[in-house]
Structure 1
Amino acid sequence: MDNSVIDAHIHFDKYKRITREKIIKSLDKYHIDALISVSINASSARDNLKLSKENSKVKPAFGFHPEQTFPDIAEVEMLLKMMDTYHSQMVAVGEVGLPFYLRKENQELPRQPYIRLLETFIRKAKQLAKPIILHAVYEDAPIVCSLLEEYSIEKAHFHWFKGDEQTTERMIQNGYFISFTPDIIYKPKRDALVKKYPLTQMMVETDGPWPFDGPFKNILTHSRMVHLVIKKIAEIKQIEEAVVYQQIYENTKAFYSI
Structure 2
Amino acid sequence: MIDSHIHLDLYNQEEQEQILSSLSKYNIDSAIAVSMQLSSCIANHKLHLSHPKSVHPAYGFHPEQALPSDSEFQQLVAWIEEHQDEMIAIGEVGLPYYMRQEAEEKGLPFNLQSYIDLLEMFVALAAKLDKPIILHAVYEDVDIACDLLEKYNVNRAHFHWFKGSRATVERMMRNGYYISFTPDIAYEEEIQQLAKDVRVDRMLVETDGPWPFEGPFQGQMTHPRMIHAVAEHLAAIKGLSLEETVQHIRSNTARLYSIK
State the TM bucket, normalised to the shorter chain: over 0.9
Structure 1 counterpart of 2:74: 77
Match of 2:94 in 1: 97
Deviation at 1:194, TM superposition (A): 0.7
The CA deviation at 1:189 is 2.4
Match for 1:206: what amino acid? Answer: T
Please name the residue that 2:12 is paired with: 16
The CA distance in 2 between the partners of 1:74 and 1:14, in whole Å, is 25
* Structure 1 residue 164, shift from structure 2 partner: 0.9
Count of paired positions: 254
Mark the runs of 5 or more structure 2 residues left unpaired by the alignment: none
Q: TM-score, normalised by structure 1?
A: 0.97
Q: Secondary structure at the match of 2:26?
A: coil
Partner of 2:165: 164
In the TM superposition, residue 187 of structure 1 has moved relative to its aligned partner by 1.3
Residues 131, 256 of structure 1: 8 Å contact kept: yes
Does 1:224 pair with 2:225? yes
Give, in whole Å, the separation in 2 of the partners of 1:81 and 1:249: 32
Residue in 1 aligned with 2:51?
55
**Pick aligned residue for 1:106 from 98, 103, 106:** 103
Give every structure 1 segment of 4 or more consecutive aligned residues whose post-TM-superposition deviation is greater than 2 Å.
none
Give the structure 2 partner of residue 126 of structure 1.
127
- C-alpha RMSD of matched pairs (Å): 0.7
CA distance in structure 1 between the aligned counterparts of 2:21 and 2:178, rounded to whole angstroms: 29
Contact 2:166 2:197 in 1 (8 A): no
Structure 2: distance between partners of 1:222 and 1:41: 22
Separation in 2, partners of 1:176, 1:155: 6
Are the equivalent residues in 2 in contact too, given 1:41–1:75 (CA < 8 A)?
no
Name the structure 2 match of 1:178: 179
Contact kept in structure 2, 1:132 and 1:155, CA below 8 Å: yes
Which SS does the other structure have where 1:179 is aligned? strand
- Distance in 2 between the 1:79 and 1:166 partners? 35
Helix, strand or coil for the counterpart of 1:209?
coil
CA distance in 1, matches of 2:202, 2:166: 16
**How many Å apart are 1:188 and its aligned residue?**
2.2
Letter paired with 1:218: G
Which digits, 9 at most, give the CA deviation of each residue in 1:168-201, with x for residues without a partner?
1110110100000000011122222111110100
Write the letter of the residue equivalent to 1:47.
Answer: A
Contact 2:37/2:62, CA 8 A, preserved across alignment: yes
How is 1:216-255 mapped onto 2 (pairs within 5 angstroms)? 216-255=217-256
Alignment match, 1:38: 34
TM superposition score normalised by structure 2: 0.96
**1:74 Cα shift?**
2.1
Instruction: Verify the 8 A CA contact 2:155 2:176 in the aligned structure 1.
Output: yes
